[in-house]
Amino acid sequence: MISSQKTAVELALESQGPIPKGVLAYLSARARGRWFDYVHNKLTEAENEGLTRKALAERIGKSPTRLSHILGNPGNWTIDTVSELLIGIAAEEVIPNSDPLLGHPPRNHRPEDDFLTHKFSKSKSSATARTLELNLN
């Protein structure tokens, strides 16, 4: 079952008023997670082609320890971090692009639905988890 109740992020983005600080913080964390994912995928491709972490560190002027720290967690990443890593890994530059958060159709399936239909077995569920409105009974 899909709830039509909107999330705090949806409500904030649809309104014309100030966006709450929490929503902005959430969206920043989300963006960092996306970039972290993107850079690591590029890194995996490059490592398969022979790039080493040591060579990457030398290429972008970081110590191996510092590079390892940066690649471990996106918590302190900035656009400069992304730029340096992409240049060092793949000689690529960051190109502006963005995508609207609103207007996409919701997923019509949630993880808890699998419980009801006994489909779970280490599944890669293509589901969404709007579960504050859990209603399993």
Partner 1 sequence: MSSIIAWFKTLDSPFARIAIRLFGAALPLFNGRMLTYMSTEAILQAAVQRGDLCFLPLQVPSDAVSRRLLLHPEIVSALARGLEIPRMFQLQGELEDYVLGRHMTLAFEPRHHKKARLGLLEPEADGIWDIRCRHHSPGIRVLGRFFEPDCFVALEWRPRSVAIEGFDKVPLSEPRSGDEWEFAIVEVIQRWDKILPGAGYITGVTHSDFVTENSSRAGA
**Which of residues 93 and 99 has its CB atom nearest to partner 1 in the complex?**
99
Q: Is 1 in the site for partner 1 (CB under 8 A)?
A: no
Tell me the window of 55-63, 70-78, 80-88, 89-97 that interacts with partner 1 (CB under 8 A): 70-78
Interface with partner 1, residue 22, by CB under 8 A: yes
Residue 7 corresponds to which tokens in the numbers above? 């999330």
DSSP state letter for 132: T
For the stretch 2-5, contacts whose Cβ atoms lie closer than 8 Å and that sit 24 or more positions apart, written own/partner, are: 2/106, 2/108, 2/110, 2/130, 3/130, 3/133, 5/130, 5/133
Q: Does 134 sit near partner 1 (CB under 8 A)?
A: yes
C-alpha 118: how far from its chain's center?
29
In the bound state with partner 1, the residue whose beta carbon lies nearer, of 1 and 25, is 25
Rounded to the nearest 5 degrees, what angle is found at the Cα of 34, between the Cα atoms of 61 and 25? 100
- Rule CB under 8 A: is residue 56 a binding residue for partner 1? no
Q: What is the CA radius of gyration of the chain?
A: 20
Residue 112 near partner 1 by CB under 8 A: yes
As measured in angstroms, the least distance from the Cβ of 22 to partner 1 is 3
SS3 (DSSP) at 15: coil
The residues that touch partner 1, with contacts defined as CB under 8 A, are 7-10, 20-30, 32-34, 36-37, 40-41, 44, 53, 68-69, 71-76, 101, 104-107, 110-112, 115, 120-122, 124-132, 134, 136-137
